[in-house]
Structure 1
Amino acid sequence: MRRPVALRLNAALATLAVAAATGVVLSMPEAASAAATGSATGYATQNGGTTGGAGGTTVRATTGTAIHTALCNRASSSTPITIQVEGTINHGNTAKVSGNSCNTAAGVIELKQISNVTLVGVGSGAVFDQLGIHIRESSNIIIQNVTVKNVKKSGSPTSNGGDAIGMESDVRNVWVDHTTLEASGGESEGYDGLFDMKDNTQYVTLSYSTLRNSGRGGLVGSSETELSNGYITYHHNLYENIDSRAPLLRGGIAHIYNNYYVKLNESGINSRAGARAKVDNNYFKNSKDVLGTFYTDAAGYWQVSGNTFDNVTWSAKGSENNPAGPDPKSNTTVSIPYSYSLDNASCVPAIVSATAGANKGLKVSDGSCSPTTPTPTPDPTDPTPDPTDPTQPGGTNLSIGAGSDGSSKASGSSYGNVRDGDMSTFWSPAGSTGSISIKWGTATSVSKVNIREASGSTGAIGAWKVVNGDTGAVLTSGTGAGAITVPKTSLKKITFEITGSSGTPKVAEFETYAG
């Protein structure tokens, strides 16, 4: 008789503590504050590659609503953007936002019908608490350095069908890296999968991530007849106290290497319905039935080499169970189209313990079982900051009579206040950072802007960028409010993005001038 998942999870905690002590344990420094670090690996490098929001603007978000707003403020659904996330994202601060470049919903981070987006945790960390990330009909997405926990499909509150990160419906090229995905039980406690892919999802990599305390690690394919998914890479991940689906593969090809599995309670890599898995140099410890075809007679296949099985038990073969052990042998071959370096399985517990998960400093293996920090990927589109023009601009303030919008606003403030000519009214972001835009119905030539702070907030604005709202290109950047010169540009929308502040920024007027 199977014990309830919650009981199995609680019983495993002491064992997990001992298992963690076998590796090199690093302190957990403050999360990286740059955009996505390093480059995609595995199958995410194929089909044109995965670059996320590289080449576009960078915005900061401290709420789910701000994430949606950043997506909706783009010129189009494919305009590149990097969204730096800090703080706790939950149901209370995640509302639906509408726009031509987005398709969002309340109670879930909705990356739907979009492309060229990076979502990266920065500062003191990003935690999606009981709130899932849903990727649908989208491509070229990077998710890095975030924690997603306790997402439910039943009970309250529910989000994303119970999946921490879920992909479905024609998804292509996703790289999920240095994340922590966790639950507090299984289906009977209201949870579903931690990392699920279905309905034609392809070219995905999950790397340097921790998946733990869940009944279900993740699946590829929603049924034995839904076989449109594949080309998935899993490497240098920690699967800890998982009942099954580590992962479950229905059709397609998966490359699974250098992962550390501790306490797979019922089954692990479940290759079914014609799936083919290349399983290299993984370390399985204190687990059961870590590889095979389970709970079905629809056979799957595997190619194995270099794996370590440490205190692994195997069940007997049956009509719906075909464990690969106790002496796993290959029954297929899988050709891998990309280059990669294999750590020896003997050091996988140490290197994965040192690198996998959010807030680990984005460390990776150097290919020789030693942790290293990759160099941040430079963004060639970031210009050298132009000096602030110390003189008051002359001519007509083009903002008067124009439109305006922005990221979430603080109570009592309004977007329209920055273009009303009244210094006693203002817009203020809901947090310490945010963006405010001026927009016109036809293309308008702008070469100078003037940011005027409201009384009592002088000096609160720190770092900023001025962005072409039509294309997402950064026109200039700097610090402090005042008159700013930008390259003369014809555009319909211009955005002032506050990326750093001291105190509460209050923009009384966002003036724009032709010259």
Structure 2
Amino acid sequence: MGRRTASTRLQAALAASAVAAATGVILTVPETPASAAAAGATGYASRNGGTTGGAGGQTVRATTGTQIHAALCGRASSSTPITIQVEGTINHANTAKVSGSSCDTADGVIELKQISNVTLVGVGSGAVFDQLGIHIRESSNIIIQNVTVRNVKKSGSPTSNGGDAIGMERDVRNVWVDHVTLEASGGESEGYDGLFDMKDNTQYVTLSYSVLRNSGRGGLVGSSETELSNSFITYHHNLYENIDSRAPLLRGGTAHMYDNHYRQLNSSGINSRAGAHAKVENNYFQNSKDVLGTFYTTTVGYWQVAGNVFDNVTWSPASGDYRPAGPNPTSNTTVSIPYAYTLDDASCVPGVVARTAGANKGLLVSDGSCAPQSPSPTPTPTPTATATTAPPSGTNLSIGAGSDGSGKAEGTSYGNVRDGDLGTYWSPVGTTGSVSVKWGSPTRISSVRIREAAGAGTVTGWRLLNADTGAVLATGGTAGTITFPATTLSKVTFEITAATGTPRVAEFETYA
């Protein structure tokens, strides 16, 4: 419908490391904003074992689509938990296929295929997927949060993801999409398809605190009148704005819509058909047409309505395959909801949604009091270590290895940290920076020893990173001997986060 208004595990890790080196190293992010993911999934995504994404796994940063794929491919397995923090614009030019045993990626789309336990979250100045869709297939336990996906096309150039901003298909379970902005610049005639589509046995999904706008199609559940394997979808505190239809289209299954603001639905809104059951409560429908009913089919669906506001909504007469629920919508079924939730009064939904929904809104949520607030995150433990003065036993594996870093002060060298000479050293430019030791083949280490040269500032804060994956191996204050669980890697980084003056690292020793 056209728009009428504008507006093998180790090999995988090494492959990921090589790609990251070519496109910008994936680094663990120093700062983590308060995250609604930490507060827990809501709606149907909280059922069927819950949706936790990458909780408990490593956290890495990506600034390109290729780095996102590299992070997925660098995991020990396709189910190893990972949180990928994304910043910047992700587009066709920086999104390439990466291969590995823990992933199945592709060019020109963010491919979350045959994987589980992944969080994709926008951080810093924001994450924008520009003309590039996110495709979830044969996957489970996925969180997508605080990102913008815009202008994904199925025709014209460039095309991605069949024209869907976010699309799920084939045996997908437990997906939570939260605080995202999904937008197009027209309808099918302009090359766009759906903003949020689910088909081929997709279940236990929640879309919350998000904006869907300027599209011919908001989204669907089920690809045909006979494809009825999709169910248990929650939509709450979302803004649907300037959408022609499919807000959403439901073919079979059960869906729950509460506390959403629907504004300028141009042709039709919630389309319950093919036996679908929708609970529609405390929503605010505004300046729209035929916001609920069974449309474009004689295979009817059902709804339970309560507490909704209809503000300047027009209704067409019922005829043939077009059956609006209005002008005075009443329930024709009862839908039982298996999870706890608290409703905002429909009268305050426009205000609450305006302050909370979409990317880069601070992840604000509502507790039913019509007063947006920050979520209550669950603190994530950080690996810590106390450096000792006792030297490790064994051979210093840094001798004969390579090295690099973030920058070096005049007269110093990265190579000085692995030459066995305490009289030479590396210093960062300023008081903070990083230096790495690297090998041409995978090397197993379980301790490092940082030896500082005398006569300069001393290290008072540091992090030790697996540079292949960005995982934090340990953090601490003063430098010395650092032990951690044995890890096989090709590069290890010592990052100085605080120091009293400019530090001098004489030796960066590594031991098995």
Instruction: Give the shorter-chain TM-score range.
Output: 0.7 to 0.9
Quick check: 1:32–1:121 contact (8 Å CA) kept in 2? no
Secondary structure class of the residue paired with 1:44:
helix
**1:497 and 1:60, CA in 2 relative to 1: closer, same or farther beyond 3 A?**
farther
> In the alignment, what sits opposite 1:261?
262
Instruction: Give the drift of 1:282.
Output: 0.3
Query: What is the identity, as a one-letter code, of the residue corresponding to 2:160?
Result: S
1:98 and 2:96 matched: no
Note the 1:383-402 alignment, pairs <5 A: 383=383, 385-387=384-386, 395-398=394-397
Q: Aligned partners of 1:228, 1:84: CA distance in 2, in Å?
A: 32
Q: CA deviation at 1:403?
A: 12
The secondary structure found in structure 1 opposite 2:294 is strand
SS at match of 2:5: helix
Is contact 2:34–2:375 with CA below 8 Å preserved after alignment?
no
Kept in 2, the 8 Å contact 1:115–1:141? The answer is yes
Q: Could you tell me whether the CA contact under 8 Å between 2:356 and 2:372 is conserved in 1?
A: yes
In structure 2, the residue corresponding to 1:75 is in which secondary structure?
A: coil
1:108 and 1:208 mapped to 2: Cα distance? 24
Which of 457, 477, 482 lines up with 1:485 in the alignment? 482
Matched, 1:216 2:217: yes
Is the alpha carbon distance of 1:124 and 1:500 closer, same or farther for their aligned partners in structure 2, counting shifts above 3 Å? farther
Q: Deviations over 1:83-117 (max 9, x none)?
A: 11111111111111111111111111111111111
Matches within 5 A, 1:503-514: 512-514=510-512
| Cross-structure match for 2:187 | 186
Q: Deviations over 1:451-488 (max 9, x none)?
A: 99xxxxx99xx964535989x985312589x766123x
1:51-70 C-alpha deviation (Å, 9 max, x unpaired): 11111111111111111111
CA contact (8 A) 2:59 2:471 kept: no
Deviation at 1:490, TM superposition (A): 3.6
Indicate the residue corresponding to 2:233 in structure 1.
232
Conserved? CA contact 2:439–2:491, under 8 Å: yes
**Equivalent residue number for residue 204 of structure 2:** 203
Looking at structure 1, the residues matched to 130 and 325 of structure 2 have their Cα atoms a distance apart, in angstroms, of 37
Matched, 1:85 2:86: yes
Q: What residue identity is the alignment partner of 2:372?
A: P
The size of the alignment, in residue pairs, is 461
Q: Deviations over 1:359-388 (max 9, x none)?
A: 1110011211110101222224x23x3245
Q: 1:77 to 1:338 in 2, by over 3 A?
A: same
The answer as to whether partners of 1:77 and 1:101 remain within 8 angstroms in 2 is: yes
Q: Which amino acid aligns with 2:465?
A: V
Partner in structure 1 of residue 45 of structure 2: 44
2:294–2:324 Cα contact (<8 Å) kept:
yes
Separation in 2 of the partners of 1:295 and 1:197?
A: 19
Which residue number corresponds to residue 466 of structure 1? 465
Cα contact 2:448–2:508 (8 A) shared by 1: no
Alpha-carbon shift at residue 199 of structure 1 (Å): 0.7
The one-letter code matched in structure 2 to 1:222 is: S
Determine the C-alpha separation between the residues in 1 that align with 2:434 and 2:90: 15
What amino acid maps onto 1:130 in structure 2? Q
User: Alpha-carbon deviations, 1:369-422, whole Å to 9, x = none?
Assistant: 110101222224x23x32456898674244679999xxxx9xxxxxxx99x979
1:132-158 CA distances to partner (integer Å, 9 max, x unpaired)? 111111110111111111111111111
1:37–1:362 Cα contact (<8 Å) kept: no
TM-score (norm 2): 0.80
Q: Does the 8 Å CA contact 1:468/1:491 hold for their aligned counterparts? A: no
| Alpha-carbon separation, structure 1, partners of 2:254 and 2:473 | 44
For 1:124, the equivalent position in structure 2 comes to 125
Code of the residue aligned with 1:261 in structure 2: it is Y
SS at match of 2:6: helix
Tell me the SS of whatever aligns to 1:8.
Answer: coil
Matches within 5 A, 1:24-63: 33-34=33-34, 36-63=37-64
Partner deviation per Cα, 1:166-201 (whole Å, 9 max, x = no partner): 111111000000001101111111111110101110
Residue 148 (structure 2) aligns with: 147
2:443 is equivalent to residue 446 of structure 1: no
Identity among equivalent positions (%) equals: 70
Rounded Cα–Cα distance in structure 1 between residues aligned with 2:370 and 2:435: 41
Partner of 1:475: 473
Is contact 1:151–1:164 with CA below 8 Å preserved after alignment? Answer: yes
Aligned match of 1:19: none
Instruction: Return the offset for 1:438.
Output: 6.5
**Shift, 1:45, TM fit:** 0.6
* Cα pair distance change 1:401/1:101, threshold 3 Å: farther
2:19 — aligned with what? none
In the alignment, residue 486 of structure 1 is paired with which amino acid?
T
Classify the secondary structure of the residue corresponding to 1:363: coil
Return the index of the structure with the highest Cα Rg. 2
Measure the CA separation in 1 of the matches of 2:144 and 2:435.
Answer: 21
- Aligned-pair distance for 1:9? 2.5
Q: In the alignment, is the contact (CA less than 8 A) between 1:75 and 1:469 conserved in 2? A: no
Contact 2:450 2:481 in 1 (8 A): yes
Helix, strand or coil for the counterpart of 2:361? coil
Q: 1:247 matched to which residue of 2?
A: 248
SS at match of 2:287: strand
Contact 2:286/2:312 (8 A) holds in 1: yes
**Structure 1 vs Structure 2 CA RMSD:** 3.8
Q: Deviations over 1:30-54 (max 9, x none)?
A: x973553421000001000001111
Residue 9 of structure 1 aligns with which residue?
6
| Unaligned 5+ runs, structure 1 | 11-30, 410-416, 424-431, 453-457
Letter in 1 for 2:105: T
Q: Distance in 2 between matches of 1:490 and 1:353?
A: 49
Q: 1:223 to 1:435 in 2, by over 3 A?
A: farther
Instruction: Give the Å deviation of 1:512.
Output: 2.9
2:231 and 2:253 in contact (8 A); partners too: yes
How many Å separate the matches in 2 of 1:439 and 1:336?
56
Aligned match of 2:10: none
Determine helix, strand or coil for the equivalent of 2:39: coil
Q: Provide the C-alpha distance between the structure 2 equivalents of 1:377 and 1:95, rounded to a whole number of angstroms.
A: 34
1:279 is the counterpart of 2:280:
yes
